[in-house]
Structure 1
Amino acid sequence: MINDLRELKFDRLEDAVEEIQSLLKTGYTQRGQWNLAQVCRHLCLVQDPGVDGYPIWMSLFAPLRPLMRRILLPRLLKGDSPQGIPTTPIFVPVQDLDDAIEAEKFAASVARYKAHQGPYAPHPGFGRLDPEILETVYTTHAAHHLRFLEPQHDSTFT
C-alpha cells in the first residue's frame, strides 16, 4: 500500500493549507490510520510547539541531536520520511474530530507560525533550526501525512 501513495511536496506551509482545502472540497479516500481531521490536528500538535515551546521532558533527547541532525534531518529535508516509527502519544490525535474545523485550526496555526517574530523553540530532535529549514521540516511532515489521503479528483499539488 505504501508504494501506491501519492507523492506530495510543498514549498511553503500555505501550500499544505491549500491541499487540505482541496481535500475538503473534493473529498478523499483514507489510505492510512488517520482521516483529514486527525492529520490536521497532528500537524498542529507538532508545529505549535515550534512557537510555544516543547514540553521540558522532550529536552531529554538533546544528547541525540547531533546524530539526528546528521542522519535523519537530511532524509527529512529530501522528503524521505521514515516509516513505522510510532508517534509520541502527546502528538496522536483523538478520533472524534471534524474535518472542516481541524482544517481551519491548521490554517490558523500556519498563519500564527508564519507571523511569529521571535526565535522558534529548539526542535526536540534537531535543536535550533533556522526558519527556512524548520519550515521545510514542517512542510515535509505535512506532505508525509497528507499523501495517505487520496483526493476524489486530481489534487493541485500532486
Structure 2
Amino acid sequence: MSDLRQLQFNNLEAAVDDARQLLASGYVRHGNWSLGQICRHLVLVQDPSVDGYPVWMSLFAPLRPLVRRLLLPKVLSGDSPRGIRTAPMFVPPNGLVDANEVEAFAASVTRLLNHSGSFAPHPGFGRLPREKILEIHTAHAAHHLRHLRAEGDSD
C-alpha cells in the first residue's frame, strides 16, 4: 500500500490544513472517495459528537468495553482497520464540490473545538473525555485523508 501517505495529525486543525492544501494543489485518489466525499464523511461522523447519535446506535452499548479495549488503541495509533463498511448514514454521496465540503469540514471542526459541554457517547467506545474524542476524530481524519496525495507528490 505504498500509495497511501503515512499521515498523523497532532490536532483537527492540522487535518483541516491538509484538506485545504489538497484542495489547492489538486490530488490523486488512492481510495474510493474524493476529497469532498472524505470531508462530508468526517462531518457526518463528527457532528453527532455534539448533536447526539441515533438511538439505534446505542444497541451496541454492551459491546463498548470490548470494542474500547480492542479497537480504540488501533484507531489512535493510526492502524485503523480498512474495508469495514460504515453505516449508510455516514456514507457520502457522489458529485460533491470539494471546496464546499472542505469548508464544511473546517466549520465542523471549529464547532467541535468550541463545544463546551460534554460530548455524546461514541457508538463504539462509549462516553470518553473531551481530549479522547478529539483524538479519535483526529485519527479518523488522518485515516481517510491518507488516501489522497497532492498532485505531483511522489513521496
TM over 0.5: yes
Does residue 1:53 correspond to 2:52, yes or no? yes
Show structure 1 runs of 4+ deviating over 4 A. Answer: none
Could you tell me how far apart the structure 2 residues matched to 1:95 and 1:123 are? Answer: 27
* Structure 2 contact 3–30 (Cα < 8 Å) conserved: no
Alpha carbon RMSD of aligned pairs, Å? 1.3
Matched residue SS, 1:29: strand
Following TM superposition, by how much is the alpha carbon of 1:4 offset from its aligned partner in structure 2, in angstroms?
A: 2.8
> Which residue number in structure 1 is paired with residue 100 of structure 2?
101
Could you tell me how far apart the structure 1 residues matched to 2:153 and 2:142 are? Answer: 16
Does residue 1:31 correspond to 2:30, yes or no? yes
Matched residue SS, 2:71: helix
**Aligned positions, number:** 155
**Aligned AA (2:61):** A
Could you tell me how far apart the structure 2 residues matched to 1:56 and 1:11 are? Answer: 31
Matched residue SS, 2:41: helix
Could you tell me how far apart the structure 2 residues matched to 1:14 and 1:26 are? Answer: 18
> Which residue number in structure 2 is paired with residue 64 of structure 1?
63
* Structure 2 contact 9–15 (Cα < 8 Å) conserved: yes
* Structure 2 contact 61–126 (Cα < 8 Å) conserved: yes
Unaligned residue ranges in structure 2 (runs of 5+) = none
Could you tell me how far apart the structure 2 residues matched to 1:135 and 1:80 are? Answer: 17
